[in-house]
Chain A
């Protein structure tokens, strides 16, 4: 599977989510115009159903109606700062209580990630596939830098398999290493527990 195919697939799913949201809200507006008395109750249900729809899991939908959504932090969103989640939920609660259907666009964007990426194993396999493509490691590295939700799984994939010790050695602070005149000279004498001389290499 190519990266462009994956990206297209994700885009299609996001587009479908947006279209479903639009249709849901359009229908809800019609219902509200017909019955203004029960508008607040319906709006509460609508909000919870939207949250459930975005999570993409019917079981979670039912659970989320009885439990606070924050009680089930998903791995993909677990790295998101808690104040962001709190703000998102508070916006939903405010709008539900007031009966208004307006939500800031950022609220939708933060919840609009494809549900498949909220599964740890699925995300891992997706990243593995991406890494196997040409320049795949570079793509995964970009994902790790782009999104906090992607950071941990992407880093796991990047560091899962190393074809050399060099990436590990490179994690030592700079003052540990120095550039040798000839590559891979090594120490002139074995390392002992005694204090090391100041300049081992010439």
Chain B
């Protein structure tokens, strides 16, 4: 008789279970191994304290086979202690394609874990979020991972020049996520310091570059910090990571501008999590650099708040918090984005737009299909919403043959 085990009830009742003295014998593993073959993705969160840690030595030492989850392709491992990180090694099987790793402070064994990872796997996707700094030999260890298409590093030391060199030399890299929060402009440019021309840089003379060199002349009026400029070596290194298609950056608008200036203009999808409200000059520079560097390739642009939306997460009851003062975010700094199809802005404070913004976007973005301007914006009772009228919006978007608009 075949017994079918179906996940119909939550397993939270198991959280207060633990192993008895009797260890499982081979027959006890039958069901577990049969169903473990089906598992392709699993998440472990040590902080949830819902899994007895004593199960992992049993998995490692008592299992009838080497890999408990032989078909596992995606592992999400969130741990708070070094011991919790070590437990993850038993799931680093050779078929693993994606690893999302979140660790806390002072993980001295992180380097060892990454070494085991690199010796066993060749990942497509790697995401590391760490409160502590990256190991010194991070780029050397990860150099074995040469098939990565998606990289996300949010950790102190992620902007080191060696990390930048490793990232730029990934031939299959398509998506990159970095955190620039709290970094100086020099640190941001330091990410590109060790990238040698020809190994990830696309100079105006390089093959396939769209940069004619005419507009990439150095503009001294835009240089805010001479030291940063001197470290970067001027515009001779512009055009890094030409293989990159999706970029997610978090941080101040000024740092984002500095980073974008160094990249090649082949990015299709750009997601920026910036502080809100951005400084006016930084916002102006950001719009300018996006149009200058990415106008020929950018299809999707999303700008959100770097800070979690506190007023969105909280219950929406009046009087529990003070609504932020709505601020104007001019869109007329964008000059031309001819291939842009999706444009979303979702900021908590910069929510004031008017008809001229819509008309401007309709003009400079002839391929626009989706335009969302702060769809979750709230308006204090003592202020009135912006005077955008649906009729006027429709006139603008219909004139530019747009499809959907959310204002």
Contacts and interface: CB of A to CB of B under 8 A. Distances in A.
A184 B41 contact: no
B14 interface: yes
B261 to A, nearest CB: 40
A165 B43 CA distance: 8
A190 B7 CA distance: 31
A171 B14 contact: no
Given A144-B6, A184-B49, A160 B15 contact: no
A177 to B, nearest CB: 4
Interface stretch (B50-58, B97-105, B305-313, B393-401): B50-58
A187 B31 CA distance: 23
A184 B22 contact: no
B6 A166 contact: no
Interface in B96-133: none
Which of the four size classes fits the interface of chain A?
35 or more
Nearest to B45: A164
Nearest to A178: B20
Interface residues of B, number: 45
B217 interface: no
Contact of B23 (A151, A160, A186, A196): A196
B57 to A, nearest CB: 4
A141 to B, nearest CB: 4
A173 interface: yes
Contacts of A201: 18-21
A183 B35 contact: no
Contact of A171 (B31, B48, B51, B54): B31
B314 interface: no
A190 B43 contact: no
A184 B18 contact: yes
Given A164-B50, A169-B14, A185-B52, A159 B35 contact: yes
A134 interface: no
Contact of B40 (A161, A164, A196): A161
Nearest to B38: A159
Contacts, number: 147
A179 interface: yes
Contacts of B48: 164
Interface in B54-91: 54-55, 57-58, 61-62, 68, 74
Is chain A's interface secondary structure helix, strand, loop, or mixed overall? loop
Contacts of A166: 11-12, 14-15, 50-51
A168 B38 CA distance: 11
A200 B20 contact: yes
B23 to A, nearest CB: 5
Given A144-B4, A180-B17, A186-B53, A160 B39 contact: yes
A71 interface: no
Contacts of B11: 164, 166-167, 170
A196 B53 contact: no
A193 interface: yes
Contact of A162 (B5, B21, B28, B42): B42
Contacts of B7: 137, 141, 158-159, 167
Nearest to A143: B6
Interface in A122-165: 137-138, 141, 144-145, 151, 155-156, 158-165
B24 A176 contact: yes
B24 A162 contact: no
Given A187-B54, A191-B62, A162 B17 contact: no
Contact of A168 (B15, B39, B40): B39
A177 B6 contact: no
Contacts of A151: 4
Given A164-B51, A191-B58, A196-B23, A179 B17 contact: yes
7 contacts: A141-B8, A160-B41, A162-B43, A165-B42, A171-B5, A183-B16, A201-B20
Interface of A: 137-138, 141, 144-145, 151, 155-156, 158-173, 175-180, 182-187, 190-191, 193, 196-201
